[in-house]
Amino acid sequence: MRAYQPYAKDAPDAAFTPAEPTRYLGEGRKLDLVLQFREPSGEVDGWLEFVRKTVRDQGARIATLQICEEPNADLPVLDGSTPNVLQALVRGVTAAKEEARSCGHDVAVGFNAVPAFDAGSTFWRELGALADDRFHEALDYVGLDFFPDVFRPVAAGQLPDAVRAVLRQFRDVSLPQAGIGTSVPVRVCENGWPTGPDRSEERQAEVVEDVVRTVAALRDELAVSGYSFFDLRDADSAGTGLFDRFGLLRDDCTPKPAFETYRRLIQELTV
């Protein structure tokens, strides 16, 4: 169950998205929890205690703990716009893993990023310069958020090639700049394709089929350990905004064609 909780010094108990995520747990479900660094001053001491307290209090319910949300995306709603985010990332990963070990919690700790389309980006090199042995020993995975044919159109028939290119660039170019080797698996944390006025539900099912099969075919070559679709249910099935209809279900929980496609792929491809 993927959930998000932001941290800011003046709001240390900020609400989860979705609200009360633990109510969805049970029957084998645990949290895929994202802790967002949203402290405007960039001060990290309170953040580190927030990370540690989260592990102490929720560790038994957490399967994966992602430190920061898209720290290389400099957009107002994402952690890449927060001052000192690299310090928060490196020290947060280390603190989370050390706390999990101390408490005896089996929590996979990592962080995520978006594809580096800007050749001038220094994020990965700066991360490599800051990361120390404790960080590398603590890091269990690196997540990738990518949405081909959503924010940047992909020509018809070229979607599998685009997915392969993004995954290989992430594994073979971005991660080595930070000193992250192939022993650290990649998880696709967020990938999706919304329906809408110009985006048919039938095409969403085709996209899910193409993307999931492409990712699965690369799992051994690129050490891809997991995939998550974003997201389960529409925010507003009558809305016309880009973010209203990412779901495999409509907002009344009736399934779109992609729901059955995704369920079938899970049954076929899960190992």
Start-end of H helices in the chain: 45-58, 85-103, 123-130, 133-138, 159-169, 175-177, 201-217, 219-222, 257-269
Q: Compute the distance between CA of residue 36 and CA of residue 154 in angstroms, rounded to an integer.
A: 30
The one-letter code for the residue type at 140 is D
Confidence at residue 11, expressed as pLDDT on a 0 to 100 scale: 83
What is the CB neighbour count within 10 angstroms for residue 239?
A: 13
Distance CA 207, CA 192 (A): 9
Shared domain check, 127 and 148? no
- Domain identity same for 208 and 265: yes
Given 139, 170, 202, the domain boundary residue is 139
Q: Are residues 91 and 77 in the same domain?
A: yes
Looking from the CA of 183 toward its CB, the CA atoms found within 13 Å total 5
Looking at residue 250, which CATH number applies to its domain?
3.20.20.80
| Residue 201 belongs to domain spanning | 143-271
C-alpha to C-alpha distance for 79 and 8, rounded to whole angstroms: 11
Confidence (pTM): 0.95
Domain boundary among 107, 139, 171: 139
Same domain, 115 and 160: no
| Residue whose C-alpha is closest to residue 184's, from 78, 113, 119 | 113
The predicted pLDDT at position 150 comes to 96
pLDDT the model gives residue 13: 76
| Among candidate residues 95, 121, 139, the one where a domain is terminated | 139
Same domain, 3 and 123: yes
- One digit per residue, the tens of pLDDT, for the chain of length 271 reads 999 999 999 987 788 999 999 999 989 999 999 999 999 999 999 999 999 999 999 999 999 999 999 999 999 999 999 999 999 999 999 999 999 999 999 999 999 999 988 777 899 999 999 999 999 999 999 999 999 999 999 987 999 999 999 999 999 999 999 999 999 999 999 999 999 999 999 999 999 999 999 999 999 999 999 999 999 999 999 999 999 999 999 999 999 999 999 999 999 999 8
Q: Are residues 254 and 209 in the same domain?
A: yes
Say if residue 188 is in the same domain as residue 213: yes
Same domain for 115 and 226? Answer: no
The reply to whether 115 and 156 lie within a common domain is no
Residues 220 and 102 in one domain: no
Q: What is the CA radius of gyration of the chain?
A: 18
Same-domain pairing of 70 and 156: no
- 10 and 73 in a single domain? The answer is yes
Domains: count for the chain: 2
